Amino acid sequence: MDGLALLLVILVGGVVLYLALRGVTRLGVQRLRLSVSATPTVPGALHTAPCNLGGGVGAGISRLRGNGVLGLAPDEVRFVLDVPRRELVVPRAAITRVTVEPALQLPGRTVTARHPWLVVWWVDERGDEAMVGLLVPEPERWRAELLGEPGGLFD
């Protein structure tokens, strides 16, 4: 009788363990699906890259910061912020200067990072100069691409 009780305890314990692991695995898959579906996309982009917008200067830009995706389209550069879902669209024809800097100089503060900043300057729709600093993979290649120089993203 003791052997039968032990076998029953082992069997019930095994079923409970199986159901618990199955539930944890399903929860993990649901979280993965949620994070993948929540990743922003840039429709019409020729090239995209994960990006961190560190700050900027211009109308409505000074408070725009965070992680997202930078997309390069034929006629615009678009940053799509993860949370809250916001976009910054810069027409490529409006870009006046693109540099790669070791630190991002903003009014009243300097932002440093372990990697260089891609700094994009343009004239906004009101005729004012605007600027953003972006942490993006291969900032030198992004700079060259935006300025139409050799060594860009597609070379």
The answer, yes or no, to whether residue 31 has pLDDT greater than 60, is no
Q: What pLDDT score does 13 carry?
A: 67
CATH number at 102 reads: 2.30.29.30
Q: How many domains does the chain fold into? A: 2
Tell which phi-psi region holds residue 66, choosing left (phi > 0), alpha (psi between -120 and 50) or beta.
Answer: left
| Beta-strand relationship, 86-91 and 47-57 | unpaired
Comparison of pLDDT for 104 and 62, the residue scoring more: 104
Examine residue 155 and state whether it is found in any structural domain, yes or no.
Answer: no
Distances (CA, A) of 106 to 19, 71, 110, 130: 54, 23, 6, 11
Cα 90 off chain centre by: 17
Examine residue 153 and state whether it is found in any structural domain, yes or no.
Answer: no
Confirm if 31 and 23 have CB atoms less than 8 A apart. Answer: no
Examine residue 30 and state whether it is found in any structural domain, yes or no.
Answer: yes
Per-residue confidence band for 146, with pLDDT thresholds at 50, 70 and 90: very high
pLDDT in tens, 46-79: 899 999 999 999 988 888 899 999 999 999 999 9
Q: Are residues 31 and 60 in the same domain?
A: no
Q: Are residues 25 and 53 in the same domain?
A: no
Examine residue 62 and state whether it is found in any structural domain, yes or no.
Answer: yes
Q: Are residues 22 and 89 in the same domain?
A: no
Domain that holds residue 16: 1-38
Q: Are residues 3 and 23 in the same domain?
A: yes
Q: Are residues 125 and 70 in the same domain?
A: yes
- Nearest alpha-carbon partner for 118 in 90, 93, 155: 90
Examine residue 53 and state whether it is found in any structural domain, yes or no.
Answer: yes
Examine residue 152 and state whether it is found in any structural domain, yes or no.
Answer: no
Per-residue confidence band for 41, with pLDDT thresholds at 50, 70 and 90: confident
Q: What's the token pair of residue 39? A: 């990743």
Q: Are residues 54 and 2 in the same domain?
A: no
Q: Which amino acid is at 124?
A: D
pTM of the model: 0.73
Q: What pLDDT score does 75 carry?
A: 95
Calculate the dihedral angle through the C-alpha atoms of 109, 114, 115, 119, rounding to the nearest 10 degrees. 0
Looking at every residue in the chain, the average pLDDT score rounds to: 84
Q: Are residues 84 and 8 in the same domain?
A: no
Examine residue 19 and state whether it is found in any structural domain, yes or no.
Answer: yes
Helix (H) or strand (E) holding 81: strand 76-81
Q: Are residues 59 and 124 in the same domain?
A: yes
Query: How many CA atoms within 13 Å lie on the side-chain side of 32?
Result: 6
